[in-house]
């Protein structure tokens, strides 16, 4: 399937790179949760995993898992998935992967996505598992095992003040100042962007009561399977690890079972923010608590409950949750906002996105 490259988006990213190149610290461009954060994702945007959600379905007794892929998806209504790769929802019972878990996989075969299931939530890169069904892109399909799926091009669900984040991190890391003035304009960069979306709804009876979820993408590159990206918590690399290029690379290329080795990268950046903000009585303890809260990088969710991703609570994540506000608040240590609030593309009905019509 051809890949549509949106020149506007590439131009925006190039502009951000020029701006950030002048900062003393090495900073990764902060465009969204995980837009273009590795060399592989820039080269192969069809496997650039940008967002992940886990939340209660509109249908009682089901849980929805959704991923956004490829920020270069065009406006013609065509999803831009890639061949010779695999998209994964990893569903673990515990953060240490000691208990039973499962992985739902999807890969492109001509004009259809092939869905599979794997025992275990941390299996080898490239594993596709046992096929349980195929679905045409853009079509809702329910399989015999009760799983319902949808895929297609849709308006990007992420809402965030990208210009504000760039200014905020520039001042924080380059100038040693913490100020929220860069968020005053409140412009949502993503309101005119598109993504390719994979949505899977799983009967709750197939899931453990408590789950920890992350998503990943992989492709067969030259002669081996390589992981292109993986994510769970929004802005993990673009903000919480933003001044540590080496650890960002390690994070995207490995699985959550190695995340605790990068706790210092998260706590160190949070410590800088909390110290400069001067609101925490013990900024070291707070920074360490954030690393414990976010690592390993998986989103916890109590199956069958109302999902919420906020400063006060992380229990799954709905597309309509203000993830940038939540992440920014956790990062600083108090409730703040980026003033971007265009939550008008987040329907509560399946497939929970606004598809782009051809």
Summarised one tens digit per residue, pLDDT across range 257-266 is: 999 999 999 9
pLDDT in tens, 8-38: 444 444 334 334 333 333 333 334 444 556 7
296: three-class secondary structure by DSSP: coil
Q: Are 308 and 323 in contact (CB under 8 A)?
A: no
The pLDDT, as a whole number, for residue 358 is: 81
Sign of CA dihedral 204, 207, 208, 213: negative
Q: Does residue 31 fall inside a structural domain?
A: yes
Residue 324: inside a domain:
yes
pLDDT at 1 over 50: no
Instruction: Give which of 74, 65, 82, 67 is closest to 33, Cα–Cα.
Output: 67
Residue 36 confidence (pLDDT): 56
> What is the pTM for the complete model shown?
0.90
Domain ranges, residue 299: 7-332
Token pair in block for residue 27: 């900073």
Strand partners, 229: 217
For 292-320, the pLDDT digits (tens) are 999 999 999 999 999 999 999 999 999 99
CA distance 335 to 350: 31
pLDDT number for residue 222: 86
Neighbours of 176 (CB within 10 A): 11
- pLDDT at residue 216 greater than cutoff 80: yes
Q: Please state which of the ranges 15-24, 189-198, 281-290, 323-332 shows the lowest mean pLDDT.
A: 15-24
Query: Residue range 177-206: average pLDDT?
Result: 96
Query: Residue 37: what pLDDT?
Result: 62
pLDDT tens string 147-176: 999 999 999 999 999 999 999 999 999 999
Alpha helices by DSSP H, the chain: 7-20, 39-43, 162-169, 245-253, 263-277, 283-294, 323-332
User: Average pLDDT of 210-225?
Assistant: 96
Whether residue 338 lies inside any domain: the answer is no
Q: In this structure, what token pair is assigned to residue 240? A: 């919480």
In percent, how much of the chain has pLDDT > 90?
A: 83
* pLDDT (tens digit per residue) in 78-119: 999 999 999 999 999 999 998 889 999 999 999 999 999 999
Within a domain: residue 339?
no
What's the rounded mean pLDDT across residues 66-74?
95
Angle at 82 between CA 91 and CA 162, to 5 degrees: 75
In a domain, 2, yes or no: no
Does 291 reside within a domain? yes
Domain count, the chain: 1
What whole-number percentage of the chain has pLDDT above 70? 90
d(C-alpha 182, C-alpha 255), whole Å: 34
Quote the mean pLDDT of the chain. 90
Could you tell me which of 234, 158, 140, 242 has the C-alpha nearest to residue 194? 158
Cα–Cα distance, 66 to 58 (Å, whole number)? 14
Q: Is residue 337 part of a domain?
A: no
Classify residue 356: in a domain, yes or no: no
Helices (H) and strands (E) in the chain, counts: 7, 14
Look at residue 35 in the predicted model and tell me its pLDDT. Answer: 55
Q: What is residue 5's predicted lDDT score, i.e. its pLDDT?
A: 37
Under the banding of pLDDT at 50, 70 and 90, the label for residue 284 is very high
């Amino acid at each position: 399937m051809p890949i549509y490259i949106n020149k506007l988006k590439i131009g925006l990213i190039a502009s951000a790179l020029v701006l950030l190149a002048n900062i003393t610290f090495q900073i990764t461009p902060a465009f969204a949760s995980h837009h273009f954060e590795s060399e592989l994702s820039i080269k192969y945007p069809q496997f650039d995993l940008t967002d992940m959600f886990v939340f209660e379905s509109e249908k009682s007794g089901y849980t929805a898992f959704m991923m956004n892929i490829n920020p270069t998806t065009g406006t013609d209504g065509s999803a831009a998935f890639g061949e010779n790769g695999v998209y994964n929802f990893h569903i673990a019972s515990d953060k240490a992967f000691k208990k039973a878990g499962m992985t739902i996989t999807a890969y492109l075969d001509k004009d259809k996505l092939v869905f599979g299931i794997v025992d275990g939530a941390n299996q080898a890169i490239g594993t596709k598992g046992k096929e349980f069904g195929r679905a045409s892109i853009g079509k809702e399909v329910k399989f015999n095992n009760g799983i319902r799926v949808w895929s297609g091009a849709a308006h990007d669900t992420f809402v965030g003040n990208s210009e504000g984040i760039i200014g905020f991190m520039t001042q924080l890391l380059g100038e040693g100042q913490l100020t929220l003035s860069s968020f005053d304009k409140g412009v949502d960069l993503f309101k005119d962007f598109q993504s390719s979306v994979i949505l899977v709804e799983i009967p709750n009876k197939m899931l453990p009561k408590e789950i920890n979820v992350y998503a990943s993408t992989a492709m067969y590159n030259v002669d081996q399977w390589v992981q292109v990206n993986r994510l769970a918590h929004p802005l993990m690399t673009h903000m919480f690890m933003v001044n540590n290029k080496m650890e960002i690379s390690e994070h995207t290329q490995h699985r959550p079972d190695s995340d605790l080795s990068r706790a210092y990268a998260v706590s160190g950046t949070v410590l800088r923010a909390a110290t400069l903000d001067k609101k925490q009585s013990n900024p070291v303890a707070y920074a360490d608590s954030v690393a414990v809260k976010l690592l390993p990088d998986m989103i916890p969710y109590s199956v069958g409950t109302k999902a919420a991703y906020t400063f006060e609570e992380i229990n799954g994540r709905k597309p309509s949750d203000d993830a940038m506000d939540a992440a920014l608040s956790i990062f600083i240590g108090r409730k703040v906002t980026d003033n971007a609030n265009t939550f008008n593309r987040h329907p509560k009905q399946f497939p929970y996105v606004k598809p782009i019509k051809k």
